[in-house]
């Protein structure tokens, strides 16, 4: 199954209409003009935000401004460019009319980068320190810059990511929930750091958002890197279902709906089941889509992800 889905992803990637241009823009105003009107629709450019020396991939579809924004976070050791090429989000964005931003994390790791989640060890074997880049602040700057140039509707900003990027996605919802209308961690759903006194559950003191955040998570039950049943590396530890249940609690949800099989838009066989908390405060539903036999890779059904995102807008604070 994993081989079939990987092949399908490569086929769909070749069908993407996006053209990648290696254009580094030093001034944000020029970048914004290219992203919001002067650049050709359906293109992806490498742009730089502010003066931190960090660039990201930015894809702009056709459509009136301001548009929704989906931020895509790469896995540990990856890059924004590689992450974008491993998905079909550019083509999905062109179909549905949203911007995609795929940044690099702030901590170098070989040929790629890792995300700074305070208090949690990275694949480098240590927890980030004060000398490391503040990725929470950087991602906030990315959103603010695009909103300021009237590229992006601030009420419709969404966040997704793979593995370490999924954990960073979860962390952003813990600490900056008002920025994001919904999140979609892929093989990386968390609800705070592991509890040092009981690694089988999240530490509730490390994730205390003041507002509900809708969540749709994607995972595979054969993931050996971030096992859904828990265990694994120190940054993982507690089961995915513990994270799901914690988000349901944070979002004020009632009892879960019955588990159902769903028909994915990519895979032919119905090997995905869905767990959902549907009765929640502000309708902030919590959903998990589990692929039977799925491993540690981009398992997101992008059509289902966008359909979930499109239901939500963040009210002005």
For residue range 55-102, what is the model confidence (pLDDT) as tens digits?
Answer: 899 998 887 678 999 999 999 999 999 999 999 999 999 999 999 999
Residue 52 in this model has a pLDDT that exceeds 90? no
Which residues are paired to 67 by β-bridges?
152
Q: What is the pLDDT of residue 12?
A: 25
Mean local confidence (pLDDT), 162-167: 98
* Tens of pLDDT, residues 277-307: 999 999 999 999 999 999 999 999 999 999 9
Look at the chain and report how many structural domains it folds into: 1
Residue 1 in this model has a pLDDT that exceeds 50? no
Residue 23 in this model has a pLDDT that exceeds 60? no
Asked if residue 316 belongs to a domain, the reply is: no
Percent of the chain with pLDDT over 90: 72
Please state, in angstroms and rounded to a whole number, the distance separating the CA atoms of residues 113 and 186. Answer: 18
Mean local confidence (pLDDT), 201-209: 96
Whose CA is closest to 84, among 53, 120, 57?
Answer: 57
Confidence label for 53 from pLDDT (cuts 50, 70 and 90): confident
Q: Which CATH number belongs to the domain containing residue 175 in this structure?
A: 3.40.50.1820
Confidence label for 45 from pLDDT (cuts 50, 70 and 90): confident
Residue 37 in this model has a pLDDT that exceeds 90? no
Q: What is the pLDDT of residue 175?
A: 97
Q: What is the pLDDT of residue 270?
A: 64
Residue 154 in this model has a pLDDT that exceeds 60? yes
Range(s) of the domain holding residue 70: 2-310
Mean pLDDT of the chain: 86
Asked if residue 186 belongs to a domain, the reply is: yes
Lowest mean pLDDT among 15-19, 55-59, 79-83, 132-136: 15-19
Residue 187: CB partners within 8 Å, gap ≥ 6? 162, 163, 166, 218, 219, 220, 223, 225, 226, 296, 297, 299
Mean local confidence (pLDDT), 179-192: 98
Asked if residue 317 belongs to a domain, the reply is: no
Q: What is the pLDDT of residue 150?
A: 85
Q: What is the pLDDT of residue 48?
A: 82
Q: What is the pLDDT of residue 14?
A: 26
Asked if residue 161 belongs to a domain, the reply is: yes
Residue 13 in this model has a pLDDT that exceeds 70? no
Asked if residue 315 belongs to a domain, the reply is: no
């Amino acid at each position: 199954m994993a081989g079939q889905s990987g092949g399908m992803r490569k086929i769909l990637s070749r069908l993407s209409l996006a053209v990648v241009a290696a254009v580094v823009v030093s001034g944000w105003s020029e970048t914004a003009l290219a992203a919001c009107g002067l650049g050709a629709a359906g293109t992806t450019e490498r742009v730089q935000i502010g003066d931190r020396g960090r660039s990201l991939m930015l894809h702009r579809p056709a459509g009136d401004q301001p548009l929704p924004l989906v931020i895509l976070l790469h896995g540990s050791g990856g890059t924004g460019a590689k992450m974008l090429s491993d998905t079909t989000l550019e083509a999905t964005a062109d179909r549905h009319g949203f911007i995609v931003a795929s940044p690099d994390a702030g901590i170098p790791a070989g040929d790629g980068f890792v995300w700074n989640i305070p208090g949690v060890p990275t694949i480098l074997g240590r927890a980030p320190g004060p000398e490391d880049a503040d990725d929470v602040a950087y991602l906030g700057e990315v959103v603010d810059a695009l909103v300021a140039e009237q590229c992006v509707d601030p009420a419709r900003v969404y966040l997704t990511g793979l593995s370490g990027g999924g954990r960073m996605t979860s962390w952003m919802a813990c600490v900056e929930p008002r920025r994001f209308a919904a999140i979609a961690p892929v093989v990386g759903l968390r609800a705070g750091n592991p509890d040092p006194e009981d690694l089988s559950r999240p530490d509730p003191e490390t994730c205390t958002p003041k507002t509900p955040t809708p969540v749709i998570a994607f995972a595979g039950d054969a993931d050996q890197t971030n096992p859904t049943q828990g265990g694994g590396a120190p940054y993982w530890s507690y089961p995915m279902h513990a994270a799901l249940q914690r988000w349901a609690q944070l979002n004020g949800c009632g009892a879960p709906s019955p588990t159902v099989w769903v028909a994915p838009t990519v895979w032919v066989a119905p090997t995905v089941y869905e767990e959902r908390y549907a009765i929640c405060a502000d309708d902030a539903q919590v959903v998990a889509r589990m692929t039977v036999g799925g491993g540690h890779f981009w398992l997101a059904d992008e059509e289902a992800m966008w359909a979930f995102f499109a239901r939500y807008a963040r009210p002005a604070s």
